[in-house]
Amino acid sequence: MKNQAIPVITLDGPSASGKGTIAHLVAQALGFHYLDSGVLYRLVALAAMKHAIAAEDEPNIVAMARCLNVSFVDATVQLDGVDVSEAVRAEICGEYASRIAQYPTLREVLLDRQRNFRELPGLVTDGRDMGSVVFPDATLKIYLTADAEERARRRYKQLIEKGINANIADLVASLRERDERDSKRLASPLQQCEDTHLLDTTGFSIDQVVNQVLSMYADISTTSQL
């Protein structure tokens, strides 16, 4: 695996567990690179939807992924040179991405792209299988979760702030459906590995969770230097 000596912190977990926000802030605190692996799947989903490709059409989904023209410029996500930072965060895009993420061939196509983000001084990444499949030798692996109601409230707040109508009950049902689909898929299912630290964020603030992750990493770094 590329650059095994470069430290990696992985944060896996279910949708709306806060792993993206936490991973981004931890990366900032450490001066590490950051990879939101879900964005890659969402970009494939967005490109497929724009070309009217059905989520069930695995061959064309995979073909789309192979020639995906993606770039990350400053804080923006670009597809074919167009800023799609907002579009990839839409609920419909996330639902589509969750459906196609079960395809083994698609996951294989995107694997090398994800691993190429491993550069000095280090990498913090979040997703569903970052610790179990993409970076099995990660320095610190965390499974970040929260109960469905808490995650629905967080997602509801995000949507309302963007001026998007939402219903808490519908969000809870949707999250539970995605949890089941992600955990039961044959290719890289969502799971907590034996060498992964469980971190339940229910009732905790963002700062509290970030500090816990940084403390875990500091403990591991100190131990490795002894």
Does 15 appear as a known binding residue?
A: yes
Does 71 appear as a known binding residue?
A: no
Does 188 appear as a known binding residue?
A: no
Does 157 appear as a known binding residue?
A: no
> What's the DSSP call for residue 133?
I
Does 205 appear as a known binding residue?
A: no
Does 104 appear as a known binding residue?
A: no
Does 16 appear as a known binding residue?
A: yes
Does 76 appear as a known binding residue?
A: no
User: Positive or negative, the Cα torsion across 47, 50, 51, 57?
Assistant: positive
Strand partners, 83: 78
Q: Residue 129: name the closest of 114, 147, 118 by CA.
A: 114
User: Tokens representing 119?
Assistant: 């550069």
User: Tokens representing 151?
Assistant: 């995650």
| CA separation for the pair 92, 73 (Å, rounded) | 24
Does 19 appear as a known binding residue?
A: yes
Measured CA distances, 134 to 35, 86, 183 (Å): 12, 26, 17
Annotated binding site for ATP: 13-21
Annotated binding site: 13-21
